Amino acid sequence: MKTLLFILQKEFRQILRDRTILSMMFFAPVMQLIILPMAANFEVKNVNIAYVDHDHSSYSEQLENKIASSGYFKIVAAPSSFKEGMELIEFGKADLVLEIPSGFEKNLIREGAQEVNLSVDAINGTKSSLGGVYLVQVMNDFNKNLDVNIKLPNGQIAQNAKITVESTNWYNPRAEYKYYMVPGILVLLLTMIGGFITALNIVKEKEIGTIEQINVTPIKKWQFILGKLIPFWIIGLIVFTLGLTVMYVVYGIFPQGSLWALYLFAAVYLIALLGLGLLISTFADTQLQAMFIAYFFMMIFMLMSGFFTSIDSMPDWAKTMSDFTPVTHFIKVVRLIVLKGAGLADLGTELLYISLFGIALNGFAIWNYRKTT
């Protein structure tokens, strides 16, 4: 431990005397988090819907088939109750819950009108607005083609029955886009800062020649790697704290779930991310090489994480690849904790995934570091 403390002392001194690196790690992420959510936008092509059918009639089945064949929606589940449908929204498996009440067909035939309940996961403002608009279009088309003639008391035939949609925005009542974008941008900025800075760390020692002096010392490999990782892990948590502060002060978003759970995931995620950066720096010989390798992985992480494009719209091979990127799981975790109030009991699988990434990447970095050439 005494050896490790000397390494940490040397690393902190080296970091603190480089003002450019300090500004990149603290000032740049804060400014980007303030500016980027105001400009970022994207289009959603697929909306997941949970169809709760309490009527189980021929008309409710026709409506379900109409929605499924519209091209806008994917019916991911048919829960038996509204509560089960809301649980699918809470865990991010559905974007909309459409509830068909009992007596749906009977009321259409006898009274010519029937209300249905639409609940929308409005954290993603784009999906909520598009999903609601698309569903209303589908329902209007269903109304036009519904073969129901209502016989009035005077013997006349009324127009076709009408279905009225009553919608509710959950978790984001005003469907504001910032609630979806800000947590994701915070994760991406943390990923870029942690991945790029650590990827340059060991390579910088190689370029200035100090790596040879370190290699002839009795310092063990794990001590050297931990000495490089711990300072940036602490700095990463500070940057994460600054990001949460900006998120609350500028955008009024405060985590609905446990802050302890959020910091636990952030701590484990940073270990995995810093392990990747250190692994890159063990392969590269120059800082330019390290930057290009880190940039390659950062682009994959950003594009495959579901931040810019919906994972549901990706082909199967891309969905599988996104599962093997830690940023995908961390973005999901941050949104669930910050916006939906999820706890550790709900996110145990994600914690396991991120922990495995951390163990594998850091273990490989320690194994790949060579004290001799």
Burial of 138 (0-12, 13-18, 19+ CB in 10 A): buried
- Give the pLDDT confidence score for residue 180 in this predicted structure: 75
Q: What pLDDT, in 10s, does the model give residues 301-316?
A: 877 877 766 677 677 8
Q: Give dist(CA 177, CA 122) in Å, integer.
A: 9
Q: What pLDDT, in 10s, does the model give residues 97-142?
A: 899 989 888 887 777 778 888 888 776 656 666 777 777 777 777 7
Q: For residue 150, what pLDDT band results from cuts at 50, 70 and 90? A: very low
127 or 289: whose pLDDT is higher? 289
Burial of 325 (0-12, 13-18, 19+ CB in 10 A): buried
127 or 202: whose pLDDT is higher? 202
Radius of gyration of the chain from Cα atoms?
26
Q: Give dist(CA 335, CA 180) in Å, integer.
A: 7
339 or 11: whose pLDDT is higher? 339
Mean pLDDT of 259-288: 87
6-9 contacts at long range (C-beta below 8 A, 24 or more positions apart): 7/219, 7/223, 7/224, 7/226, 7/227, 7/228, 8/227, 8/230, 8/231
Q: Give dist(CA 283, CA 84) in Å, integer.
A: 49
Burial of 168 (0-12, 13-18, 19+ CB in 10 A): exposed
List strands edge to edge, sheet with 73-77. Answer: 73-77, 47-53, 96-100, 113-121, 162-170
- Give the pLDDT confidence score for residue 39 in this predicted structure: 58
In the predicted structure, residue 161 carries a pLDDT above the cut 60: no
Q: Give dist(CA 222, CA 281) in Å, integer.
A: 15
Mean pLDDT of 318-342: 86
The lowest-confidence range among 38-42, 196-200, 351-355 is 38-42
β-bridge mates for residue 74, sequence order: 48
- Give the pLDDT confidence score for residue 206 in this predicted structure: 75
In the predicted structure, residue 153 carries a pLDDT above the cut 50: no
What residue spans in the chain does CATH classification 3.40.1710 cover? 47-170
Q: For residue 177, what pLDDT band results from cuts at 50, 70 and 90? A: low
In the predicted structure, residue 78 carries a pLDDT above the cut 60: yes
Mean pLDDT of 225-254: 86
What b/e string do you get for 21-52 counting C-beta neighbours within 10 Å, with b at 16 or more?
Answer: eeeebeeebbebbbebbeebeeebebbbbbbb
Mean pLDDT of 131-158: 62
- Give the pLDDT confidence score for residue 176 in this predicted structure: 66
**In terms of Cα–Cα distance, which of 328, 342, 28 is closest to 187?**
328
The lowest-confidence range among 38-47, 279-288, 329-338 is 38-47
- Give the pLDDT confidence score for residue 215 in this predicted structure: 67
Q: What pLDDT, in 10s, does the model give residues 220-237?
A: 777 777 887 888 888 888
- Give the pLDDT confidence score for residue 151 in this predicted structure: 43
Q: Give dist(CA 184, CA 334) in Å, integer.
A: 8
- Give the pLDDT confidence score for residue 154 in this predicted structure: 45
In the predicted structure, residue 146 carries a pLDDT above the cut 70: no
In the predicted structure, residue 276 carries a pLDDT above the cut 80: yes
Mean pLDDT of the chain: 78
- Give the pLDDT confidence score for residue 152 in this predicted structure: 42
In the predicted structure, residue 144 carries a pLDDT above the cut 80: no
Reported pTM: 0.66
In the predicted structure, residue 340 carries a pLDDT above the cut 80: yes
Q: What pLDDT, in 10s, does the model give residues 6-63?
A: 777 777 777 777 777 677 777 777 777 777 666 554 545 578 889 999 998 888 888 8
- Give the pLDDT confidence score for residue 155 in this predicted structure: 43
- Give the pLDDT confidence score for residue 158 in this predicted structure: 47
Domain 47-170, architecture per CATH: 3-Layer(aba) Sandwich (3.40)
